[in-house]
Every structure is written in structure tokens, then in C-alpha cells.
Amino acid sequence: MKSFLNIFFAVVLILVSAEVVYAADLTVNGEYRIRGFDYSSVSGFDTGAGDSADYLDQRFLLTGTVTQGMTKGVVELSLVQTNNGYGLVNSGSSEGGNIMGNGYSNNLALGGIHQAFINVTFPAANLVAGRSIIKLGHGIILNDTVDNLTLKIPYDTMTLDLGYLKIAEPDSINNCSPGLPGCATQSNGLDNTGYLINFGWKPVDTWKLGAFYVSDSQALAAASNTTENVGGLSLDAQSGPVYLSFEYDNISGKAGPSSNIKGQNIFLVISGDVNIARVGAGYLRVTGASAGSGDVSSNSIAGDFAAGHGILLNDQTRYGGGVDLNSRVVDANYGANPVLNNNFHALKLFAETMPMTDLNVGIEIFPLVQLVDSGVAAGTPLAQIAANGDTNIGQEYNIYGGYKLDKNLSLTAVAAYFNTGAVVRDLAQIESGSAAATNKNVTKLTAALTFTF
């Protein structure tokens, strides 16, 4: 697979080297952010005493863009705070968590080269080669940095992207081949290859339609190879004061020799302008395999997708930092069956307004966050929860706001409260082994100061 990319990179470098007669144009911009967090009952159900947290995290992004003739090169460095202090941590993984729902990376200490790609403009298309951000639809399936080779074809009101993705690839020299001495002890032979078709159409300024298809093949041991295929449709539209966003995703594939992958996402947000405020409602339904089917649920809730500002359905770890409550609400010990990755639905009500120049405030209420189908193997935590007949994950209430202190300086804050439900209580009992364990409500306070230049 590497040889495929190397051939194309060589062709692009030849094109670039032919342009040295032109003067290069260099621009530099960046962002510096400091965030403070205070959590209580971080896990939501931990029966131990150490379940609170308060800390600071910092991130510095520096982006350099060089333009010369028909070629543009972009490099974005990310300096982040880690448990070991500060540093350029080149983890070789994509920021923002799982890609295609296969758990490739969900590290907090991410950094190093966030993006590094060249964009060559041809008369009828653009060629992007390297590590760049790819977003599909509203980012439910993918909105992350990926090593890719993509041909972008614009035509009037339409766009078409054809991409080859290397989501993960081990060192082909140092990784062993089956049958070699010591190979049986090596477990991390993951190789993820994807292919992408992404179509967009904007018939009028207020309507945007999209359709995409992406495949993801994981080369593991022969008996456990995984192939995942995702097709999606999206719509963003405005009619007068009314706004609509919609997405439907269908996930299928094979997990190992005998299990099928199943998943569907439905995302719908309707909002409208009322006096000085925008009010609306959003709905997210994430379903997978049917209970008792033996199939595998997959929904790819990942890639910096955020449906809320607070605790649930919020990417806590964007570009490093934060506590990922999406997994802890379920229990990190049972990460293979996370509640908020499949088989749930959630309703959100929200209102946003700007009471004065440079100040925006909003409220969010999640009155319903529930399981809709256990869809897991017998003996797993969710199967035990289903046996109890419990479906309520909880409710959440958020207040958030932002103020622009200066042209390049902004302050944002969030106060969130998650009222945990019976599902979280059941997980507490499973984790502790005690029927007396009860669920705990979670609070989150956070503030961020962001300077851009």
C-alpha cells in the first residue's frame, strides 16, 4: 500500500520542482488556547472516592502555508499539554478518536504534525496528497485528519471527491509476517485502508445536498479481518427564518468470518429565528445489530462529532485534553460495548441569542437519552441491563456562552449537569459487584481563553 502512495507523491514532487522559477508566498497563522475544567462524579457511577477532577490544559497550533505557482503546501503543528508536560507528540494517529468506529485511536496526548499536505491545482481538478482533514456530511462518520490521496473535481454547482485513505498502517519492515519466528507474540498488526466517494450539490445558495460512500478494510489476523462500508446522505437547507439539517448513514460489512456489521444513524435538527433568539430541536438515533442476532453494532460516532456543549454527545478531547465521559458513562472496563456508540436515541432542545455585540449565550436540554436496542452478546453489561428492562441513560442541562474580548481574543464557558438514569445505575452495580451501588449525577464547569493570529 505504501508503494501506491509513494508513486503518486513522486509524481507530485516532480510537478512541484518544475515551478521553482516562481516566487513563493508564505503565510503563517495559529491559535493558542488555555482551558480549565472542574468535574464532579467524573465516571457518573464510580463507587470509589476519587471521581472528581480539576485541571488546566493548553494547546498551541501553528499553521504555515506556502503557495508557489499551481501548488500549495500546508503544515500544521500542534503543541499540546500531556501528562509528561509539553512537547510535540507524534503519535502517528488521527486526533479526535475512533475513525470508522474501529477504535484506532482515542489517546489524549496527541500532537505533532496535525496536518501536512500539498494541494496541486490542475485545470479541471485539485490533487490533495498527505495528511489533511476530511469531513463527511455533518461529521458523524468522519471529521478528522487522515493520510490520504484525494482528487477533488469541482463543476459548476457540484463537487466530487475521490479518495484513497490510509487510516492506519504499521511499519511494513518491522512488523512480522505470518509464520516468522516471534510473529505470534505481535498483536498490533493493524492496517486500515479506505476508499472514498464524496459528492456535493448546491442548487441554490440556501440548499446543500451531499452523498458519500466510504469503505474501511482492517487487515488483522486472517480470521478476524474487518471490512466496513458506509453510505450517507445529508441536507442543509434554509427557508426564510427556518433552518434544517439532516443526515442518514447506513453501515454494513463483515467482522471476522461469521459476523455481519450493522448500523444506522439518523440526525435531524430544525431551528428558527424568533425575535432575537434562535430556538430549535435536534434528534439523533443510533442503532445497530438486533438483539440476539450475533451481528456487530457499529455507528462510527467519532471524528470530532459534537451534538452538545456539555457532557453527553460532546467531543471532550478535540485536539487533546478533557475527560472523555462518553466512555466513562458506560464504564471503561467494557469499552467494547459503549452505550453512546450504538443503540441509543437522544432528543435535544436548545435556544441561542446575542443579547449584546460580541456576546452569545445558549441553553441546551436533553430530556431524553435512552437505549433503543441492546443488540449485544449474552453475558455483556448491556445484555444484563436489557434483562432488567432499563433504558434511561439520563437527562442533561447545559448553559454555555462566549464573549469576544478583542478582535483575536475570546472567552467561552460551559456549565453542565447530567442527571444519570437507571442504565448508569445498572452499570455501577455490574462494575462494583454490589446491588447497593447507585448512580451519581455528573457536573462539569469549563472555561477557555482562545487567542488567534
pLDDT at 173 over 50: no
The x, y and z cell numbers of residue 209, run together, are 445536498
pLDDT number for residue 312: 75
Number of independent structural domains in the chain: 1
**Residue 95 within any structural domain of the chain:** no
Q: Which domain holds residue 47?
A: 33-60+157-173+189-452
Separation between Cα atoms, residue 279 and residue 271, nearest integer Å: 5
pLDDT (average), residues 289-293: 71
**Residue 388 within any structural domain of the chain:** yes
**Residue 361 within any structural domain of the chain:** yes
Question: Which residues in 69-92 are b (16+ Cβ under 10 Å) and which e?
Answer: bbbbbbbbbbbbbbeeeeeebeee
Place of cell 444519570: 420
pLDDT number for residue 106: 30
pLDDT (average), residues 191-220: 89
DSSP state of 338: -
Other CB atoms closer than 10 Å to residue 160's CB: what's the count? Answer: 15
Least confident window among 200-209, 212-221, 382-391, 392-401? 382-391
**Residue 14 within any structural domain of the chain:** no
Residues with Cβ within 8 Å of 102's Cβ and at least 6 positions away in sequence, in order, are 192, 216, 218, 226, 228, 298
pLDDT at 90 over 80: no
**Residue 128 within any structural domain of the chain:** no
pLDDT number for residue 331: 34
Instruction: Compute and round to an integer the Cα radius of gyration of the chain.
Output: 23
Least confident window among 132-136, 167-171, 228-232, 324-328? 324-328
The x, y and z cell numbers of residue 240, run together, are 426564510
Angle of helix 422-432 relative to helix 381-388, nearest 10 degrees?
130
Mean residue pLDDT across the chain: 76
**Residue 89 within any structural domain of the chain:** no
Separation between Cα atoms, residue 304 and residue 212, nearest integer Å: 18
Q: Is the model more confident about 202 or about 12? A: 202
Could you give the C-alpha distances from 219 to 17, 168, 234, 260, in angstroms and in order?
Answer: 36, 10, 30, 16
**Residue 301 within any structural domain of the chain:** yes
CATH code of the domain containing 202: 2.40.160.40
Separation between Cα atoms, residue 104 and residue 236, nearest integer Å: 30
pLDDT number for residue 85: 43
Over residues 174-184, the pLDDT tens digits come to 444 444 444 44
Triad 97, 103, 107: Cα angle to 5°: 45
pLDDT (average), residues 114-132: 94
Least confident window among 68-82, 324-338, 411-425? 324-338
**Residue 401 within any structural domain of the chain:** yes
Looking only at the bridges linking them, the beta strands covering 259-274 and 296-297 are: parallel
pLDDT at 435 over 60: yes
| Residues forming beta bridges with residue 300, ordered by sequence position | none
pLDDT at 297 over 70: yes
Q: What is the pTM of this model?
A: 0.80
pLDDT at 417 over 80: yes
Least confident window among 6-15, 29-38, 343-352, 425-434? 6-15
Terminal Cα-to-Cα distance of the chain (whole angstroms): 38
Nearest-CA neighbor of 297 among 376, 215, 392? 376
pLDDT number for residue 55: 78
Considering 169-178, 383-392, 437-446, the range whose residues carry the highest mean pLDDT is 437-446
Place of cell 449565550: 361
pLDDT number for residue 116: 93
